[in-house]
């Protein structure tokens, strides 16, 4: 082969689209890790429903990737009735529970309303969505539930009581989904990143600088990355690739697992 013919075949090379007959629903899909997951699934051929409280950003991303969007406040769990969920989740083969927020405060100062909000968004909503997608997945004999947990689903950290509790709960819910879904062709796994370069973390860096009275660069070097063997933030695309792999056929025997992507933090 000449250099020119190699170049021509690379230019004409089409990326395999192993998810082209799949529909995915990604919560919190309009920003950060969620938007990287949306792009990662869409580039592999999936039709992606971008579910987010930020309806404008969700619609813009859905248009970019040829998907659709669902404007929804997932913390308002009383509004997530069976009827609403049945309509939103019809035909979903891949559910990615990703939407999340963070509040940082010592327990004695932690507002009970904030605790309830985080548990509703990050544990109850994933339960309700999982409950809604399973009947169609069982009928089809295929399904993937992928829960975006955190290293805080495995290890605790001070001042993040609600977040740590919600993520630990999500790890448990994910395992139960795996045990119940296995014989129906449904797998369920957690992806558990360390600090990822997203708007959520950028806000957290600023908040921690205030709480500890140090600079933002010191928050990275003295707090966030001290436990990491690879001293950098995770990139959202790296999480997106792992989610896409879990969604595909190659991961059929992977279930009930929690994949850390934390630069070695949890190995310590
Ligand atoms: P982000 O703030 O960039 O994105 C979160 C998305 O969730 C936003 O689009 C937001 O609009 C949406 N959202 C927030 N509240 C919602 C609600 N009530 N209903 C519907 N959508 C809502 O955050 P991110 O860093 O990409 O985090 C995504 C997930 O990854 C979260 O579950 C988070 O806990 C987890 N995570 C993040 C990191 C990190 O370092 N960024 C690390 C580990 C785990």
> What phi and psi values does residue 198 have, to the nearest 5 degrees?
-135, 170
Q: What angle (nearest 5°) sits at the alpha carbon of residue 152, between those of residues 150 and 158? A: 150
144-171 mean pLDDT: 97
**Spatial distance between the Cα atoms of 251 and 193, rounded to a whole number of angstroms:** 19
Beta strand residue intervals within 101-198, DSSP E: 143-148, 186-193
Q: Is 28 in the pocket of ligand 1 (CB under 6 A)?
A: yes
**Spatial distance between the Cα atoms of 255 and 268, rounded to a whole number of angstroms:** 24
Task: Report which ligand 1 atom has the smallest distance to the Cα of 76.
Answer: 18
Q: Is 52 in the pocket of ligand 1 (CB under 6 A)?
A: yes
Task: Report which ligand 1 atom has the smallest distance to the Cα of 234.
Answer: 40
Is 163 one of the catalytic residues?
Answer: yes
Work out the pLDDT band at 203, boundaries 50, 70, 90: confident
Q: Which range has the worst mean pLDDT, 12-16, 36-40, 219-223, 247-251? A: 12-16
Residue 226 CA to ligand 1 centre (angstroms): 23
Contact 168, 153 (CB under 8 A): yes
More confident residue, 49 or 203: 49
Contact 99, 50 (CB under 8 A): no
Task: Say what the pTM is.
Answer: 0.94
Say yes or no to pLDDT of 1 above 60. no
Work out the pLDDT band at 7, boundaries 50, 70, 90: low
Q: Please tell me whether the interface predicted TM-score (ipTM) of this complex is above 0.90.
A: yes
Average per-residue pLDDT for the chain: 95
Residue 182 CA to ligand 1 centre (angstroms): 28
**Spatial distance between the Cα atoms of 209 and 153, rounded to a whole number of angstroms:** 23
**Spatial distance between the Cα atoms of 36 and 131, rounded to a whole number of angstroms:** 25
Burial (CB count within 10 angstroms: exposed 0-12, middle 13-18, buried 19+), residue 268: exposed
């Amino acid at each position: 082969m000449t250099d020119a013919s190699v170049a021509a075949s690379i230019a004409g090379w089409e990326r395999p689209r192993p998810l082209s007959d799949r529909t995915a629903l990604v919560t919190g899909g309009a920003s950060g890790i969620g938007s990287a997951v949306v792009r990662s699934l869409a580039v592999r051929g999936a039709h992606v429903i971008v579910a987010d409280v930020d309806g404008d950003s969700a619609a813009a991303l859905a248009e970019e990737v040829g998907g659709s969007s669902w404007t929804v406040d997932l913390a308002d769990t009383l509004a997530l009735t069976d009827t609403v969920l049945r309509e939103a989740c019809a035909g979903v083969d891949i559910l990615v529970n990703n939407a999340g927020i963070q509040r940082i405060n010592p327990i004695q100062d932690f507002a009970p309303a904030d605790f309830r909000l985080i548990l509703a968004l990050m544990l109850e909503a994933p339960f309700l969505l999982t409950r809604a997608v399973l009947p169609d997945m069982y009928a089809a004999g295929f399904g993937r539930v992928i829960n975006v947990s955190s290293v805080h689903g495995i290890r605790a950290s001070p001042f993040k009581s609600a977040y740590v509790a919600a993520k630990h709960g999500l790890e448990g819910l994910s395992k139960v989904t795996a045990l119940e879904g296995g014989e129906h062709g449904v797998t369920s796994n957690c992806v558990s990143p360390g600090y990822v370069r997203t708007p959520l973390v950028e806000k957290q860096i600023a908040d921690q600088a205030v709480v500890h009275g140090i600079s933002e660069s010191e928050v990275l070097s003295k707090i966030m990355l001290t436990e990491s063997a690879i001293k950098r933030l995770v990139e959202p695309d790296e999480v997106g690739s792992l989610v896409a792999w879990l969604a595909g056929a190659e991961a059929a025997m992977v279930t009930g697992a929690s994949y850390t992507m934390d630069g070695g933090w949890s190995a310590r």
